[in-house]
Amino acid sequence: MLGARITDEVDYYRRRGESRSAVRAVRLRDPDRLRWRAAVSDVTAAAGKLRGRERMFVEEPVREKVLDIPDALLRREVVLDARRHNVDLDRGEVIPRRTLAELRRIAFLVGTDLRLVGRYLTLPEDWEAPIDTPGAVVVGRAMADFHRRRAQRLWLQLPDPDGPEMMMEHHQIIAARADQDADLSRRWASLAKNLL
């Protein structure tokens, strides 16, 4: 598909069930932070549904290409995108390994509830055991996004401060809840950032 955008090319091969052709397209293009990253995310989403040798034939070539990316930020974000689809492109080369003790300390310092991470991620029993750091970062970012969107929805329910409508008692309750959600969003984002 000469001249096609990488996202269109990968989408074409993915719809036809030609995962190896999609991988070849990703490997032949130069990495960039927009279209190439989106194309790799599509390939890893498809790989997350595969099992056995088929998954290996998709996952390993993409992993090799990702590890060769000179841009450290792009490399990290591609690994996190893949982890969102249950594909592990990192074996400790990109994202630092963290232990349960470090995760607990960071969660305590930023003021987040570690039990919520345990709902979505299997945490070890031993304090010095390594955790799935990319998975914990994905959970932290997802929780931050959830609380941010909820705070924005609540703020949209409030009257315009410059408008004629007065701030009633129920508006003040909504505003307090929105501020609480915004604070939780910042805390979860801080957890994800500090794990990296």
Alpha-helical regions (H) of 68-162? 72-84, 100-110, 114-120, 133-156
DSSP string, 139-184: HHHHHHHHHHHHHHHHHHTSPPTTSSS---HHHHHHHHHHHHHHHH
Could you tell me if residue 92 is left (phi over 0), alpha (psi between -120 and 50 degrees) or otherwise beta?
Answer: left
Please tell me the pTM assigned to this model. Answer: 0.82
**109, 161 contact by CB (below 8 A):** no
The full set of domain ranges for the chain reads 6-84, 100-195
pLDDT of residue 107: 93
Position 85, amino acid: H
pLDDT of residue 2: 56
How many Å apart are CA 178 and CA 154, to the nearest integer?
6
Q: What tens-digit pLDDT sequence spans the chain (196 residues)?
A: 555 788 888 888 888 888 888 888 888 888 888 888 888 888 888 888 878 888 888 788 888 888 888 888 888 888 888 888 888 877 777 888 899 999 999 999 999 998 999 899 888 989 899 998 898 999 999 999 999 999 999 998 888 777 777 778 888 888 899 999 999 999 999 999 999 8
